[in-house]
A and B are shown apart, each in its own frame.
Chain A
Amino acid sequence: MGTHSHHHDYNFSEQFTFTAKARGLSLVALAVGIVAVAIGLLSSEHIIVERTYANLLLMGYYFTCVCAAGGFFLALQFVTQAGWSSGLIRIPQAMASVLPIASVILLIITATGLFSHNLYHHWYAEGLTDPESPNYDALVAGKSAFLNAPGFLLRQVVFMGSYSICSWLLAKYSYNEDLQGGLNSYKKSFKLSALFLVIFGFTTPIWSFDTVMSLEAHWFSTMFGWYNFAAMWVSGLCVITLILILLKKSGYLAWVNENHLHDLGKLIFGFSIFWTYVWFAQFMLIWYANIPEETVYFYKRWEPEYKLWFWVNLFINFVVPILALMDRDAKRKMNILMIVCIVLLLGHWLDYYIMIMPGTVEVHRGFGWIEIGTALGFVGLFSFLVLNKLSRHALAPAKHPFLEESLHHQI
């Protein structure tokens, strides 16, 4: 409907103020995390060091995945030429800008974990590929063309490097657009997004094979990559929605309304079901075929240590969103959506916990100051970096070609 001239009073140059209180809280959380990790890593007990490493991997991976989901969200909007999301796009942009830092942190964790034998010792240890050695492992030797330290590190650098560059550039183009206007930034973003999605789609499964699946190197599942992608995308959407709701509650982003929340809610709802679909596809085929080399993964997770949490994981990440977000109104009400987002973010922490812990610390798992401290530290770091980035630019991409469409979005 182009004939009406629409009038609005939004202040698109509005900027987020990163208050001293929010800044202080996130830095305190980060400090708590650093202390917890330091105590864990300096412990004289080997199992505590390993447990700390497993937690660092969990949160480092979670942190990187959420930031990468920010970049993926941007690319998806540009490639589909979506208009509805342009009013809230500064939030995923802030997350995408932080991806390079998250990637470097995860790279440090995986590299030091590899060489200190605290992570990935199932495939990286003395003599595993040497037929003369008493440690010789025929299965690992057979996979060593892929699972070897130089190849692993190269893939980590290339994959996360390409995601970081693309995500950072997508955010930068949009910030440039604020200054220059015109369609130049949008066209460049469109082309880069198409390239990024191809890279991302083909490499994220391999990235998850390396980073998480290789913790149990004897086992493999071709569904694992999509399962990890689903977890990354749902948790990324939850973080975007949560930041949006918190900003709105603080009085920002007047131009974003329940229609935009509804769309984000639908994405969270739909991709929670997609997560379940992939989770179940992986589980059912292995359960029914009952081949020992495959069932070992679920066997470990059905030991008394993990079995309860294995089912709680499915409950939180499937039953909760499907019941809580089924209703149209639930997706349009800020408080319900906020609670579901928080529950799902905790749920996907548990999801990663179930993926990582049985392959690293096995029966020595725990839930205590290491888990809580590490998680707090990364939440603090994420909040500090993302909110800091958010406060540097206007909260609306005022010269985005589809901003007007976002203002009139109605579903």
Chain B
Amino acid sequence: MSNIKYIIGSFADPDELMDGIDKLQANNISIYDCFTPMPIHGIEAKLGVKPSRLPIAAFCFGLLGGTLGFSLLYYTMTYDWPMNIGGKPALPLPDFVPVTFECTILITALGMVATFFYRNHLFPGRAPRVMDLRATDDRFIIAIDANDNVDHEKIEGLLKEAGAVEVKYNERKYVSYE
């Protein structure tokens, strides 16, 4: 076995990348992932990427934020020190709506940012995980697992045929650590 872990097809044009995906899929070659400097319409459907689970995290953070906001109001306004304000009940639910709402939004937004950072290894000071440095600049990348797909010559042929300007054989998954 060679030490090659991933084959990287590097394209200069997003349409050629899409063409490359079609060609590989037609030949039953599994694609590990694609990296592009900008969003490309339809690429998720083509690659069969599952819908993001971020909304589930958002819902949980929303519940937490709403509960925290309401608890704060309930403790201060109703339980600890009830006051008569304009003759309204000690538990004036309509007045609790804006604060509860804002706390829900705040915790949801902060929580989603934190989740996104956690999932993508983006905390300050962490080395970014990038499989090809130019994928964040001007190249469109298809990464193929070299151990799952053994016919490397055929893969290179298909990538070149689709218009790849460069095909690399990487022995490490992430080049950005080097």
Contact = CB atoms under 8 A, between A and B. Distances in A.
Nearest to A283: B94
A392 to B, nearest CB: 34
Interface residues of A, number: 13
A289 B95 CA distance: 11
Nearest to B95: A288
A220 interface: no
Contact of A288 (B13, B14, B41, B92): B92
Given A290-B86, A290-B87, A410-B42, A4 B95 contact: no
Interface string A3-28: 11000000000000000000000000
Interface residues on B, range: 10 to 19
Contacts, number: 28
Interface in A117-154: none
A150 B41 CA distance: 56
Interface in A374-411: 408, 410
A284 interface: yes
Given A284-B94, A288-B94, A290-B88, 11 more contacts: A280-B94, A280-B97, A284-B95, A284-B97, A284-B98, A288-B86, A288-B88, A288-B92, A289-B86, A328-B51, A410-B42
A331 B86 CA distance: 43
Interface of B: 13-15, 40-42, 51, 86-88, 92, 94-95, 97-98
Nearest to B94: A284
A3 B42 CA distance: 16
B27 to A, nearest CB: 22
B42 to A, nearest CB: 6
A265 to B, nearest CB: 16
B37 to A, nearest CB: 14
Contacts of A408: 41
Contacts of B51: 328
26 contacts: A1-B14, A1-B15, A1-B40, A3-B13, A3-B15, A4-B15, A280-B94, A280-B97, A283-B94, A284-B94, A284-B95, A284-B97, A284-B98, A287-B94, A288-B86, A288-B88, A288-B92, A288-B95, A289-B86, A290-B86, A290-B87, A290-B88, A328-B51, A408-B41, A410-B41, A410-B42
A287 B13 CA distance: 60
Contacts of A289: 86
A280 B93 CA distance: 12
Interface of A: 1, 3-4, 280, 283-284, 287-290, 328, 408, 410
A293 B41 CA distance: 55
B22 to A, nearest CB: 13
A328 B53 CA distance: 13
A221 B86 CA distance: 20
The interface centre, meaning the residue of B13, B41, B87, B98 with most chain A CB atoms within 10 A of its CB, is B41
Contacts of B14: 1
A177 B105 CA distance: 45
A288 B86 CA distance: 7
**Which of B94, B95, B98 is packed against the most chain A CB atoms within 10 Å?**
B94
B97 to A, nearest CB: 7
A289 B94 CA distance: 12
B16 to A, nearest CB: 9
A408 B41 CA distance: 9
A299 B51 CA distance: 48
Nearest to A411: B41
Contacts of B97: 280, 284
A239 to B, nearest CB: 29
Nearest to B92: A288
A280 B101 CA distance: 12
B95 to A, nearest CB: 6
A328 B54 CA distance: 13
Contacts of A1: 14-15, 40-41
A410 B45 CA distance: 11
B21 to A, nearest CB: 14
Nearest to B13: A3
A353 to B, nearest CB: 23
Contacts of B94: 280, 283-284, 287-288
A286 B40 CA distance: 49
A287 B98 CA distance: 14
